[in-house]
Structure 1
Amino acid sequence: MKKQAGFTLIELIIVIIIIGILAATAAPKFLNMQDDARTASLKGLESALKSAAAITYSKAILSGKDIHDDTTITIDGIDDAVAVVYGYPKADKDTLRQVADLSEADWSFDTATSGGVKVYAASFTTPPTDECYVTYNTQGRGKAPEITTVPCGKN
């Protein structure tokens, strides 16, 4: 009697079912990577805005303009004067574009309900939705601006 090698139909079906179960549990994790990547780019923008605000504030202190609620300063490497509020960059799209070197092709801006600015990645959605953005709000004298990220897919 010859011995046959191979898989039975039942064994093949069991393997297909196991692969299907693994795919069903792994797929949501892979689909969530897009939101994670978008949130990571917004976190990078948040860090860039915080660094730009700190550098601008340092320059304002050195020029004695950190006590004024509406003035301008000059910063090396930036062609135009930078509008500042108590030494920190003013919460408007032109000023944030200047200090953080944000291109219009990559970032879009909107007025936040709290009076600050919402910054969206232009490639995420058109027009921007109410998720996936960074807010920039100036505070009072001697206080750093409030810069926060609203992560993607969490609303």
Structure 2
Amino acid sequence: MRLGIVVSEFNYDITRLMLEKALDHAKFLGVEEVLVLKVPGSFEAPLAAKRLLEEGCDAVAVLGAVIKGETDHDQVVAHQVARKLMDLSLEYGKPVTLGVIGPGATREQAAERIEEYARRAVEAAVKAWKRLNEGPQLA
């Protein structure tokens, strides 16, 4: 399996650790090849995910942290990113998973969720890819 990981550099104190956890979990799951593409912020993640899909990745896990500020900007960013990632998954017929903490998360809440979000994004990408390649099973 060739897994792409997109990681946002915004809130890099959080996302750097997410990337480390994601890489560790990919190795644990036996992923053969991992391509990492860093982007300035989560808003740029869909374009990077598309690039990785075009370059032959079987699945893409997206990591980011959209921290609550004084306005609703975090809501706008997180919702649009989630929607575009879902669109890419459907367009390419490949898993594109959401490991973006937020919206509405404080820095402390984001720090508490580093490992959980990173591992879940990678695990969902790997499991979905495997199951889609196995095809439907009789119940």
Sort the TM-score into its range (normalised by shorter chain): under 0.3
The TM-score, its normalising length taken from structure 1, stands at: 0.24
Which structure has the larger Rg? 1
Larger proportion of strand: 2
Higher helix residue share: 2
Higher relative contact order (CA 8 A, sep 6+): 2
